[in-house]
Amino acid sequence: MLRIKDLEAGYDELNVLKGIDLEVKAGEIVALIGPNGAGKSTVIKSVYDLATVTGGSINFKGKDITGIKTHELLELGINFVTQGRVVFGELQVKENLEIGGDLIKDRDIVEKKLGAVYAKFPALKEKENTLAYTLSGGQRQQLALGRALMNDPSLLLLDEPSLGLSPKLQKELFKTIKDLKKDGISILIVEQNAKKAIEIADRTYLLENGSVALTGGKEIVKHKVIKSVYLGG
């Protein structure tokens, strides 16, 4: 599905990623963990052409997508939920969701998709006509995710979706993410909560200083690096 090879990327003079190899196969949840500043968001931003790619390649379903524009990515079925769950505060919840379905020309299909998002997130249905800036953090997260789902993505890139959520809401979010996998969506998730990320992911990559320091399945939770640095010994 997504294959990143030898990716080098950064911002202006700053080289952040120093040759990353990473793969998300169809139907997989892949987690990207690592300390602040390691370059996790930059991996996602490289796909989205928000960071400067200086080497390597990014392929989606066999097609080179390095540097292609956001609307083309959306048309290919790749959606991105940014770190900080950006929503359009001055627009209603429903309007935010409709923006996510902007590529769909058929109004009936938009309504159907709205129904599906509301079924997943009933709180959004209740608030559909309220302005998005009034939402709580958890509702905002649901809205950002719901907006991405309107586009019927086959690949979702999630940047720290659990940040700032209460333990209860985090639990719900991770369940939602597992449900999305059941729906057939492939997911690349950047996550601070290493333990939870490893638990839900088919594969996890530990990023340190712009390089992959460790990769593996659920067994890496027992790895000494993960234990000492991320899980408090």
**CB 126, CB 186: distance < 8 Å:** no
Strands 2-11, 14-24: pairing kind: antiparallel
Measured over the CA atoms of residue 134, residue 139, residue 140 and residue 143, the dihedral's sign is negative
Give the CB-side neighbour count of residue 33, counting CA atoms within 13 A.
28
Asked if residue 204 binds Mg ion (CB under 5 A), the reply is no
What does 117 bind: Mg ion, ligand ATP, none (CB cut-off 5 to 8 Å by kind)? none
Write out the two tokens for 89.
């505060």
The least distance separating Mg ion from the CB of residue 7, rounded to whole angstroms, comes to 16
Asked if residue 46 binds Mg ion (CB under 5 A), the reply is no
Interface residue with ligand ATP among 7, 9, 33, 40 (CB under 6 A) is: 40
Asked if residue 103 binds ligand ATP (CB under 6 A), the reply is no
Q: Where are the alpha helices (DSSP H) in 101-155?
A: 107-120, 122-126, 137-149
The whole-angstrom separation of Cα 8 and Cα 15 is 7
Which residue's CB is nearer to ligand ATP, number 123 or number 163? 163
Measured N-to-C along each axis, helices 167-182 and 137-149 cross at an angle, to the nearest 10 degrees, of: 10
Measured over the CA atoms of residue 112, residue 105, residue 79 and residue 86, the dihedral's sign is negative
DSSP state of 42: H
Window contacting ligand ATP (CB under 6 A); options: 32-40, 72-80, 100-108, 136-144 = 32-40
Closest CA to 33 of 222, 207, 171: 207
Which residue's CB is nearer to ligand ATP, number 83 or number 130? 83
DSSP state of 97: H
The least distance separating ligand ATP from the CB of residue 12, rounded to whole angstroms, comes to 7
Interface residue with ligand ATP among 38, 73, 93, 148 (CB under 6 A) is: 38
**CB 1, CB 24: distance < 8 Å:** yes
Interface residue with Mg ion among 22, 31, 41, 150 (CB under 5 A) is: 41
Which residue's CB is nearer to ligand ATP, number 101 or number 161? 161
Write each residue from 127 to 166 as x if it is in contact with ligand ATP (CB under 6 A), else as -, in one continuous string: ----------------------------------------
Asked if residue 42 binds ligand ATP (CB under 6 A), the reply is yes
Interface residue with ligand ATP among 9, 22, 39, 186 (CB under 6 A) is: 39
Asked if residue 101 binds ligand ATP (CB under 6 A), the reply is no
Residues interacting with Mg ion, by CB under 5 A? Answer: 40-41, 83
Residues interacting with ligand ATP, by CB under 6 A? Answer: 11, 14, 16, 34, 36-42, 83
